[in-house]
């Protein structure tokens, strides 16, 4: 039996993206974003409320970074998702997170996060009280500790977080269970 749950954002998994920005005085801020994803191989989008400090910062700088939250930083990732930089100017310091300026865009990288995409804004569209922001990924900065010997992302070392919006839970990315662009071939024979 199927049950209708009405309109809900139940895509599984959702990411736990940490979007980091500078304000006009170059103070860093960061927020937790589940409503984001890939547009194509060099573009991503994030969907964020107009009232967030991050939204003001992105409009001012036309740039941001997207860090992948990992299991080692659940508390920090959740904190930046419940406290606004509008109310806590030392938000990142309170979270125990440290930043360095991106070499490629006018936005900070969070040192503690293992993978960061550095992004330049291409489009901002407003839907009700949400901004859909499409941006070009101009670089990806990765900790060597989460790379395989041949330079690929080692998900077994990454321990990336996923968001379960139905249960308001964080999950750790699980084990490999298949091979993409390959497992389906057995049905094509
Ligand atoms: C798990 C989680 C996911 C979230 N996803 C989003 C999101 O996709 N879009 C959004 O606008 N806010 C989202 N938030 C809320 C913001 O991260 C939060 O309001 C934050 O304090 C905004 O910070 P700022 O005002 O410093 O930019 C999420 C929060 C949590 C805890």
Residue 124, in any domain of the structure? yes
CA–centroid distance, 53 to ligand 1, in Å, is 10
Atom of ligand 1 nearest to the CA of 21: 27
CA–centroid distance, 180 to ligand 1, in Å, is 31
Residue 151, in any domain of the structure? no
Atom of ligand 1 nearest to the CA of 165: 1
Asked whether 34 lines ligand 1 (CB < 6 A), one says yes
Residue having the nearest C-alpha atom to atom 20 of ligand 1? 81
The gap from C-alpha 41 to its chain's centroid, in whole angstroms, comes to 16
Residue 161, in any domain of the structure? no
Number of domains the chain contains: 1
The whole domain housing 25 covers 17-143
First-to-last C-alpha distance (Å) of the chain: 33
pLDDT tens-digit series, residues 107-162 = 999 999 999 999 999 999 999 999 999 999 999 999 999 999 999 999 999 999 99
pLDDT tens-digit series, residues 47-57 = 999 999 999 99
Look at residue 174 in the predicted model and tell me its pLDDT. 80
CA–centroid distance, 70 to ligand 1, in Å, is 17
Residue 88, in any domain of the structure? yes
Residue 92, in any domain of the structure? yes
Asked whether 35 lines ligand 1 (CB < 6 A), one says yes
Query: What separation in angstroms does the CA of 41 have from each of 15, 103, 105, 136, 160?
Result: 17, 21, 18, 9, 20
- Identify which of 61, 60, 62, 31 has the alpha carbon closest to the alpha carbon of residue 47: 31
CATH number of the domain at 35, please: 2.30.110.10
* Tokens standing for residue 61: 């700088």
Residue 56, in any domain of the structure? yes
pLDDT tens-digit series, residues 148-177 = 999 999 999 999 999 999 999 999 998 899
Asked whether 78 lines ligand 1 (CB < 6 A), one says yes
Question: For all residues of the chain together, what is the average pLDDT?
Answer: 97
Residue 154, in any domain of the structure? no
Residue 170, in any domain of the structure? no
Asked whether 92 lines ligand 1 (CB < 6 A), one says no
Asked whether 31 lines ligand 1 (CB < 6 A), one says yes
Asked whether 188 lines ligand 1 (CB < 6 A), one says no
Given a cut of 90, is residue 22 above it in pLDDT? yes
């Amino acid at each position: 039996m199927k049950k209708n749950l009405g309109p809900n954002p139940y895509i599984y998994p959702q990411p736990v993206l940490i979007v980091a920005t500078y304000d006009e005085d170059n103070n860093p801020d960061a927020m937790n974003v589940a409503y984001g994803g890939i547009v194509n191989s060099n573009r991503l989008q994030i969907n964020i409320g107009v009232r967030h400090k991050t939204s003001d910062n992105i409009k001012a700088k036309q740039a941001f970074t997207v860090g992948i939250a990992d299991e080692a930083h659940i508390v920090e990732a959740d904190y930046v998702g419940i406290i606004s930089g509008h109310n806590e100017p030392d938000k990142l310091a309170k979270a125990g997170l440290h930043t360095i300026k991106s070499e490629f865009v006018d936005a900070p990288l969070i040192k503690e996060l293992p993978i960061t995409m550095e992004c330049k804004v291409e489009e901002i569209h407003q839907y009700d009280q949400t901004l859909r922001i499409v941006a070009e990924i101009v670089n990806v900065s990765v900790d060597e500790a989460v790379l395989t010997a041949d330079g690929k992302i080692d998900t077994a070392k990454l321990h990336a977080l996923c968001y379960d919006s139905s249960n308001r839970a964080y999950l750790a990315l699980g084990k490999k269970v298949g091979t993409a662009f390959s497992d389906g071939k057995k049905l094509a024979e």
